[in-house]
Amino acid sequence: MARAHPATPDAIELLKADHAEVKELFEEFKKLQESDEEGTEDLKQALMDAVCSALKVHTQIEEEILYPAARAVLPDEEDLMNEADVEHAGAKDLIAQIEASSAYDAMTCAKFLVLAEQIDHHVEEEHTDMFPKLRKSTMDTKAIGVKLAARKEELTAEMEKAIAEAPEGLRPSMPPKDGGRPLRG
C-alpha cells in the first residue's frame, strides 16, 4: 500500500490512494475466485494477507488521526462519524476471522468477499459524504496528511518487523510496496 506520496501529502488524497490500492487487491482476488482454477489458494492467501494488513494500518490511522480531527471540524456530523466507527469495528471483526483461517477454506473466502463489499460501501460513503464535508471544513488536510503518512510508515514498519520475526509458515504477506502482487513470506 505504499505508493509515492508528495512531501506534504493531503490527507484525503493519501486515503483515497489507499482505497484504490486495496480495491485493486480485492478485484484480483475476485478474479481468482471466479476463475475457479485449481491451485490458486496460495495466491488468494497472499492477497487476503496483504489486504488485511493494509486495512489494519489504514483503519488505525483513520481512527487515531483523521476521525478525531473530523469530529472536531464537523461537530454536527456525529451520526456520520459514529457510522464510520461502527463500520471499522465490523471490518476489524471480519479481518480477525479471516486471519484465523486460510484461503483453503471456502467460508473464509466468502468472508473475504463480504469484507470487500463492506469496505466498498464504507469507501463510497467516505468519498461522497465525509471527504467533501472535510474539504469544505476548516481542517488543514495537509497537516493531517503529514500525520497520517508518518503514522502509516511507523505502523507498516512495526508490521514488517513482526512478520520478519514470525516463525516460517506463520508469516502473512505485506501489502505490495510497488503496486505488484503480494508475496507470501
Average pLDDT per 10 consecutive residues for the chain, totaling 185 residues = 59 97 97 88 95 97 98 97 97 97 95 98 98 97 96 93 73 45 40
Report yes or no on 65 lying in a domain. yes
Give the pTM: 0.85
- Burial environment of residue 128 by CB neighbours within 10 A (0 to 12, 13 to 18, 19 or more): exposed
**Is the dihedral angle over the CA atoms 46, 107, 165, 15 positive or is it negative?**
positive
Report yes or no on 3 lying in a domain. no
In the block, cell 514498519 appears at: 157
Full residue range of the structural domain in which residue 145 is found: 11-165
Residue 97, C-beta contacts closer than 8 angstroms, at least 6 positions apart:
108, 111
CB of 90 within 8 A of CB of 118?
Answer: yes
pLDDT for the residue numbered 176: 43
For the chain, the domain total comes to: 1
**Is the dihedral angle over the CA atoms 143, 145, 150, 155 positive or is it negative?**
positive
Report yes or no on 181 lying in a domain. no
pLDDT for the residue numbered 4: 47
Q: What is the CATH number of the domain that holds 55?
A: 1.20.120.520
Cα 125 to chain centroid, rounded: 15
Report yes or no on 182 lying in a domain. no
Cα 122 to chain centroid, rounded: 11
